[in-house]
């Protein structure tokens, strides 16, 4: 039987580790932090995966996603609090400043057109959007009102294949 108090403390530790370091803790680091053995930490990781608290790489104990944070590089880069995070998707690139309650500069690649866009989140608002070619600003889009995010699957199917979603 799972100790629920410890379970949620482990969830919080994984998220805090992401926020502090931009990457997830290994199961060994988590075991060490809570002074438990690796097998127990692994069981807790699997339980949190099953409860959709975060998501492991298939057949491993490596955290791939703790939404909005990504454990691997993506097209959605978020600069905040002096660090650079990767988000899982276009929604999560906004989720990182929302979760951290902080200003941010987001660099993202537009699908199909492959144009780079830089978005500035300032004081709880989208303050500016600039399309850029490399490091050279190409055009401004005011507050990004023209940018769109496509949700390919209805909510009922989001967890069928989270990587695709």
Partner 1 sequence: MLLFQSEEWIDKWCKRNYLERGEVLTIHQVWKLSKLWYANRMSVEYHGRSIEETKEIFRKSGLTSTFWHGAG
Least distance CB 114 / partner 1 (angstroms): 10
The CA distance from 40 to 61, in Å, is 12
Q: Does 8 contact partner 1 by CB under 8 A?
A: yes
Least distance CB 158 / partner 1 (angstroms): 9
Strand order, beta sheet including 136-140: 83-86, 76-80, 104-109, 116-122, 125-133, 136-140
- Which of residues 1, 59, 112, 161 is near partner 1 by CB under 8 A? 112
The CA distance from 59 to 22, in Å, is 23
Closest CA to 27 of 61, 70, 64: 61
Residues 54-73 that bind partner 1 (CB under 8 A): 67-68
Q: Does 12 contact partner 1 by CB under 8 A?
A: yes
**Max Cα-Cα span within the chain:** 57
Q: Does 15 contact partner 1 by CB under 8 A?
A: yes
Q: Does 126 contact partner 1 by CB under 8 A?
A: yes
Closest CA to 66 of 117, 11, 21, 110: 11
- Which of residues 111, 137, 138, 140 is near partner 1 by CB under 8 A? 111
Q: 101: how many CB neighbours lie within 10 A of its CB?
A: 8
Binding segment toward partner 1, per CB under 8 A, in 30-38, 39-47, 77-85, 125-133? 125-133
Question: By the criterion CB under 8 A, which residues form the site for partner 1?
Answer: 8-9, 11-12, 15-16, 19, 51-53, 67-68, 76, 89-95, 98-101, 108-113, 115, 117, 119, 121, 124-126, 129, 143-156, 165
């Amino acid at each position: 039987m799972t100790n629920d108090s410890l379970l949620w403390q482990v969830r919080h530790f994984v998220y805090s580790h992401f926020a502090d370091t931009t990457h997830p803790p290994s199961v060994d680091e988590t075991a060490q932090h809570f002074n438990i053995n690796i097998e127990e930490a692994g069981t807790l990781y699997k339980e949190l995966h099953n409860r959709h608290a975060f998501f492991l790489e298939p057949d491993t104990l490596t955290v791939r996603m703790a939404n909005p944070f990504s454990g691997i590089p993506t097209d959605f880069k978020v600069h905040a609090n002096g660090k650079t995070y990767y988000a899982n998707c276009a929604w999560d690139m906004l989720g990182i400043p929302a979760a951290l309650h902080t200003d941010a500069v987001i660099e993202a690649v537009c699908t199909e057109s492959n144009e780079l866009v830089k978005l500035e989140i300032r004081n709880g608002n989208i303050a500016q959007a600039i399309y850029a070619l490399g490091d050279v600003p190409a055009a401004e889009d005011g507050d990004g009102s023209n940018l769109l995010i496509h949700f390919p699957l209805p909510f009922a199917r989001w967890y069928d294949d989270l990587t695709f979603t």
